[in-house]
Chains A and B, each alone.
Chain A
């Protein structure tokens, strides 16, 4: 199995699907000759030509809006929004159109397509290249929201997303685009949407995370295992945020009785709030401590102080200590 990073895995998935399914087209800003600002579409223009790997005008609403029209006609578009921070001009098209097509037409006009977009901070990108807007899409009925943390999942989930019959917002954690490496199976495989993955088994505290934060949580777990009062953490990578894997979460919570939720996005109305509410509704009597959240702060994403803003291993371990010692 070749070792790949997330960008290479995304690229591999796109190439496999474009070879397999002539309906798949990629469109977006700089995705053609340049291969994307993160190089995720490298080589697609050369292999599939400008009609299937399309450089568009700089207009996100147009990219998503025309992709919807293509999907209605039977294509499988995979538009790229260069940074999730730039997605808002397309928000109306995503929320009121894309997400509602199947429903409002009584099932007559589904619009399956995948919007790929890099998310998250830690790359010296400031407010406009660092946001984690997943909650804004999870809250919209009609969308699925997927975010892999590693190349193996990135490839399998992207292939599953393009073949899905519903619109998918596919978020790519750009901080670990190149840093997260792994042996990626060659050829075609999918990872089902809606299934979480236990990336580290443990008995003491359940840590829920996704995207780049999975790596921060793993770092915290390593650190915790060498501390005096060792903590035994179970880390769940949600992978799909909607529909999320409630069974995997509850199984773990019933085992550990303690939960810490970690995300980069601001705390208030972040997805952690939904998870915490769901867990207490279904497993209150199994909980040994309040559910804690370690998140970005309720500020715009800062430039110079980004590492103060982002959850890190020590902040996670502080929360772990609080739930363990409650």
Chain B
């Protein structure tokens, strides 16, 4: 079967489907471009920080930014965002403070998740950006359940779940699509097909020509979209959200993009893939394409972007300095809190046991 790839602009930023072009104000457009550039610059700095040994681990989204920034721009903050570990840009778009973001990466005393998770596992309650897990695709049923709950409560919120192409190989992806279809819930299930699951290519995750076509088996619309065209992402996710809010159920979206960098700071793609492949995708860079579009439209001048870049650089530097100035560890007791709503007797005892041990032997080194 053949599915059209939904696009709005071509690789040169020229509008090829005006009927799909999102009707955004100039300010709204600039907010989207700013968010794309900001997460690109954050990623670059964080990888450098990791290489300098100042940060334990990082996952970047270079080349794939338009997928989740586009989704965030198409949704309301009251819509729940269930991300994998590569979509923190959506939280930043919604207003997640960069200093807080940085404290999470450091797992320090001001980390909102209290030093309990590796870097990039953010959680931003007031922005409906749900706590990130490392295992793949486990968040999809949660998005379906949240969308279902919204429907049962007659609210018009939708929930979106992001995951990679590897995520479609998990049983829970299929089960989630099944539930979303059977109960017609306002969920938006987005496969960010970036071609690679660490070292395993997309061709090993499926033999079907697209991931979007898997929707047919669950009675969902399946949409294939150019994930490097932020306008196409906004258009597609906005349509899926409108369907959900109208009571017409869930949508499966395959956002076709490419993971230009490594899976994480812990791997080396030169071992398993041809170096020409990422270079080829650089010609379809989502920021370049969108910048050209906005420039054609007269909504952007070079000096604006130069000013942004300067400001973002300063902002990142400030956030790093801030995070490095915060005490590196959360208080000891936080290890025992939030396991349950109240600390039960056995954890209370274990806390005092550890406290006594540290009192006798001194603080543990290492961070």
Contact = CB atoms under 8 A, between A and B. Distances in A.
A103 B338 contact: yes
Interface string A80-119: 0000000001001100110011111111111000000000
B149 A69 contact: yes
Interface in B83-135: 111-114, 116-117, 121, 123-125, 130-131, 133, 135
B295 to A, nearest CB: 40
Contacts of B125: 105, 108-109
B340 A144 contact: yes
Interface stretch (B13-21, B136-144, B226-234): B136-144
Most buried by A among B111, B147, B172: B172
Given A65-B141, A166-B340, A246-B345, A105 B123 contact: yes
Contacts of B152: 25, 51-52, 70, 75
A166 B341 contact: yes
Nearest to B161: A69
Interface in B248-262: none
Contacts of B111: 106
A178 to B, nearest CB: 32
Given A66-B179, A104-B123, A75 B149 contact: yes
A74 interface: yes
A68 B149 contact: no
B133 A69 contact: no
Nearest to B185: A66
Contacts of B147: 69
A272 interface: no
A65 B149 contact: no
Nearest to B346: A243
A189 B339 CA distance: 27
Interface residues of A, number: 47
Q: Which 3 A-B pairs have the closest CB atoms?
A: A69-B145, A65-B141, A66-B145
Contact of B182 (A25, A57, A104, A105): A57
B123 A106 contact: yes
Given A57-B178, A97-B133, A103 B116 contact: yes
Contacts of B346: 243, 246
Contacts of B138: 65, 92-93, 96-97
26 contacts: A51-B152, A57-B178, A62-B175, A62-B179, A65-B144, A66-B176, A68-B145, A69-B147, A69-B148, A69-B159, A70-B152, A73-B80, A73-B145, A75-B152, A92-B172, A96-B135, A97-B142, A103-B339, A105-B125, A107-B114, A108-B131, A109-B125, A141-B339, A165-B340, A165-B341, A246-B346
A100 B338 CA distance: 9
Contacts of A166: 340-341
A151 interface: no
Contacts of A108: 112-113, 123-125, 131
A54 B149 CA distance: 12
Nearest to A246: B345
B337 interface: yes
Contacts of B116: 103-104, 106
Nearest to B171: A61
B146 interface: yes
A67 B341 CA distance: 19
B130 A104 contact: no
Interface in A104-144: 104-110, 141-142, 144
A72 interface: yes
Interface in A13-60: 25, 51-52, 54, 56-57, 59
Interface string B147-176: 111101100000100000000000110011
B344 interface: yes
A202 interface: no
Contacts of B146: 69-70, 72-73
Nearest to B145: A69
A107 B145 contact: no
B180 to A, nearest CB: 9
Interface string A240-266: 000100100000000000000000000
Given A70-B148, A105-B123, A243-B346, 16 more contacts: A56-B179, A61-B141, A61-B172, A66-B145, A66-B179, A69-B145, A69-B147, A69-B159, A72-B130, A93-B141, A104-B113, A104-B117, A105-B125, A106-B113, A107-B114, A243-B345
